[in-house]
């Protein structure tokens, strides 16, 4: 007997809830009854979808809070503590934090059950059966991929183990990294052939898997597999299966990068066929300056639901921490108390606070790193400066803030808010004043930015702080994969396999143009103290990684990138820094304050298996170091 799981996909707006997939299953159903009629089988299809990750929920993924991108106090109890526990080195093998081992194997079991039985549904049209099989084949691949990303070598479960199997048959083994990747890619290739190019029935099918999604995820899988964590990682030379075979090939293979580049380019081409393109803002009711048009193009590439850049909007990826519905809750977690007349409203918290490392990652207005820009006052960046009228779109004229907040690229102002800055919204532009005692400063023991910066990027521009304890905003499905991400994956794989060839610059520059920046070539030639940096593979690698860190900031990408690049031992062994937000005097507020010093251990590159699982099944080798 199997209890089916309700899986509904809702796009919430101010006017109500439009349900794209809304199925109410029977409480209990046998496998035979489920796969007799279409109306029952489709419920099982949505059960297979229901395991998709909640990557738009702070509590649903380690990617938001378990790295160094943003910070919160370990003492705050109003949000889930597991991410910050991982960030502060509290991961363990007795009760692993935020692992997916059990849930993903449950998901794979349901996918296998569906694939084994959907052929028995008598009233299902052949074209529909073909599509459903392709969707669930993709989901099966994706759930294996989620396991691989966390645990590295994993067991591959192609078919369910029968109930009649012996205990020894049930004690499955892990397979090598390369075997796992090849299996996942094979499933994705199989699925892609029979998936639709686009969703035509948008009233009830948005969120279902398409060919661009399958091909885009294939590119992500292969780029990860080609990255230093999995490609010739000699740190795992002694990590072997129970039969003595190595889990990790010890030779670095450039061919893996070439394979990833080919997959990324093929995915880009199919996205073009599907009409997917980089988003730019459009509104018939709003007239914007060029600077604000650029800012809204950057912000709404994330927050405008089902926009033209979105390859995969994952509606199951919805925040739930502390209540709320959809991405509304994440927006409440990011937004400061914008309206000074409603300071008693404690729903906007601003706790998802960018660290100083992220503040300094973004380029200068000239499109190069601030420590490279020959025109930028880098040495004095923590000193104060007063904004003038010509800077009033980003900064408050006559107000003083750190030089660090001046003369930065448009993505800096689109992604973050700060004391002395401006917060452009649909109803009006709000000044941000965060010195202690001011509107956006600390009011309670929790529920404030511990660094002095706020994550503007994830907040829809229709967000409104209302009377009482409520807010109004537009909900959106989480952008699991968007075109800019795919462009960056292609540029990275191409540079690693071929070096600085023309297409690397082409796709980097498309992203930079949307962000209001000049080309890589012009920016480095004219403004960098290392003008030839972009001409070498090593220099271009650094540029691509920083470009990726900026473009994908606060979307959960950096966490996994740092792991796959194998740079966590450097990046996550540094101080986490913010301003001294407990001060009302600007000279005291704008002092760097160390919030924590991270201590990342190499074993943390892969999640631990639960000790109990390893004890029950001795064929499961524990990950190295745990």
Answer for the pair 394, 414: CB distance below 8 angstroms, yes or no.
no
Answer for the pair 332, 324: CB distance below 8 angstroms, yes or no.
yes
With CA atoms as reference, report the closest residue to 64 among 353, 269, 345. 353
Q: What confidence score (pLDDT) does residue 80 get?
A: 87
Answer for the pair 5, 21: CB distance below 8 angstroms, yes or no.
no
Q: What confidence score (pLDDT) does residue 317 get?
A: 63
- 441 token code pair: 């400063």
Mean pLDDT, contiguous 10-residue spans, the chain (626 residues): 33 31 44 90 96 88 95 86 96 97 97 97 96 98 98 97 91 97 98 97 92 98 98 97 96 98 98 98 85 96 96 76 61 92 90 97 98 98 98 97 98 98 93 96 89 97 90 89 98 98 98 98 98 98 98 97 98 98 97 97 98 96 97
Beta strand extents in 266-390 (DSSP E only): 310-314, 353-354, 384-386
Q: What confidence score (pLDDT) does residue 60 get?
A: 85
Cα–Cα distances in Å, from 588 out to 46, 440, 458, 581, 592? 55, 17, 29, 9, 9
Q: What confidence score (pLDDT) does residue 444 get?
A: 83
Q: What confidence score (pLDDT) does residue 567 get?
A: 98
Answer for the pair 453, 578: CB distance below 8 angstroms, yes or no.
yes
Helix ranges (DSSP H) in 499-626: 502-514, 520-527, 537-551, 557-564, 568-571, 586-589, 611-616
With CA atoms as reference, report the closest residue to 363 among 472, 520, 479. 520
Cα distance between residue 340 and residue 439, in whole Å: 5
**Per-residue DSSP letter, 623:** P
SS3 401: strand
SS3 97: coil
Q: What confidence score (pLDDT) does residue 10 get?
A: 32
With CA atoms as reference, report the closest residue to 192 among 147, 141, 234. 141
**Per-residue DSSP letter, 309:** T
Query: Helices (H), strands (E): how many in the chain?
Result: 21, 16
- 192 token code pair: 């892609």
Cα distance between residue 46 and residue 44, in whole Å: 5
Answer for the pair 395, 431: CB distance below 8 angstroms, yes or no.
no
Place of tokens 């109003």: 78
| Number of neighbours of residue 239 by Cβ within 10 angstroms | 19
The number of residues making up the chain comes to: 626
């Amino acid at each position: 007997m199997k209890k089916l799981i309700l899986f509904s996909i809702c796009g919430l707006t101010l006017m109500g809830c439009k349900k794209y997939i809304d199925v109410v299953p029977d409480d209990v159903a046998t496998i035979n009854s489920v796969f007799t009629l279409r109306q029952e089988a489709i419920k099982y299809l949505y059960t297979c979808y229901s395991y998709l990750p909640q990557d738009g929920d702070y509590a649903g993924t380690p990617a938001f809070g378990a790295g160094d991108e943003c910070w919160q106090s370990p003492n705050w109890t109003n949000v889930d503590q597991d991410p910050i526990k991982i960030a502060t080195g509290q991961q363990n093998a007795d009760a692993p934090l935020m692992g997916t081992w059990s849930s993903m194997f449950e998901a794979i079991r349901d996918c296998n059950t569906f694939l084994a039985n959907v052929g028995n549904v008598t009233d299902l049209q052949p074209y529909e059966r073909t599509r459903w099989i392709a969707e669930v084949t993709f989901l099966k691949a994706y759930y294996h991929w989620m396991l691989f990303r966390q645990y590295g070598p994993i067991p591959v479960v192609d078919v369910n183990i029968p109930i009649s199997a012996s205990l020894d048959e049930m004690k499955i083994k892990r397979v090598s990294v390369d075997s796992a990747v090849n299996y996942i890619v094979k499933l994705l290739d199989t699925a892609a052939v029979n998936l639709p190019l686009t969703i035509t029935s948008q009233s009830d099918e948005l969120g279902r898997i398409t060919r661009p999604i399958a091909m885009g995820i294939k590119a992500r899988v292969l780029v990860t597999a080609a990255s230093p964590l999995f490609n010739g990682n000699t740190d795992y030379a002694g990590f072997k299966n129970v039969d003595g075979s190595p889990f990790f090939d010890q030779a670095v293979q450039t061919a893996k990068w070439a394979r990833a580049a080919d997959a990324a380019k093929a995915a880009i081409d199919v996205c073009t066929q599907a009409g997917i393109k980089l988003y730019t803002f459009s509104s018939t009711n709003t007239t914007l300056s060029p600077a604000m048009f650029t800012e809204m193009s950057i912000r709404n590439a994330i927050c405008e639901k089902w926009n033209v850049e979105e390859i995969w909007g994952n509606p199951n990826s919805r925040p739930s921490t502390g209540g709320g519905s959809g991405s509304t809750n994440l927006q409440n977690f990011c937004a400061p108390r914008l309206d000074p007349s409603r300071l008693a409203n404690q729903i906007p918290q601003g706790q998802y606070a960018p660290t100083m490392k992220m503040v300094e990652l973004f380029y200068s207005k000239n499109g190069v790193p601030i420590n490279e820009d020959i025109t930028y006052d880098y040495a004095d960046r923590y000193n104060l400066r007063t904004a003038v009228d010509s800077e009033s779109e980003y900064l408050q004229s006559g107000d003083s803030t750190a030089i660090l907040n001046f003369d930065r690229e448009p993505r800096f102002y689109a992604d973050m808010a700060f004391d002395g800055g401006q917060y452009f919204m649909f109803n009006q532009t709000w000044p941000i004043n965060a010195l202690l005692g001011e509107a956006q400063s600390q009011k309670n023991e929790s529920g404030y930015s511990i660094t002095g910066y706020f994550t503007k990027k994830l907040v829809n521009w229709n967000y409104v702080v209302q009377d009482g304890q409520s807010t109004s905003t537009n909900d959106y499905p989480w952008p699991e994969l968007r075109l800019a991400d795919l462009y960056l994956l292609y540029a990275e794989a191409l540079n690693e396999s071929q070096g600085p060839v023309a297409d690397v610059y082409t796709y980097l520059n498309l992203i930079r143009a949307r962000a209001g920046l000049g080309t890589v070539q012009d920016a480095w030639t004219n403004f960098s103290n290392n003008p030839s940096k972009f001409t070498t593979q090593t220099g271009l690698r650094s540029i691509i990684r920083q470009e990726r860190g900026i473009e994908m900031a606060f979307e959960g990408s950096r966490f996994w990138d740092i792991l796959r690049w194998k740079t966590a031992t450097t990046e996550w062994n540094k101080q986490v820094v913010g301003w001294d937000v407990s001060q009302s005097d600007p000279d005291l507020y704008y002092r760097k304050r160390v919030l924590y010093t991270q201590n990342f251990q190499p074993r943390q590159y892969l999640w631990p298996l639960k000790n109990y699982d390893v004890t029950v099944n001795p064929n499961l080798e524990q990950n190295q170091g745990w």
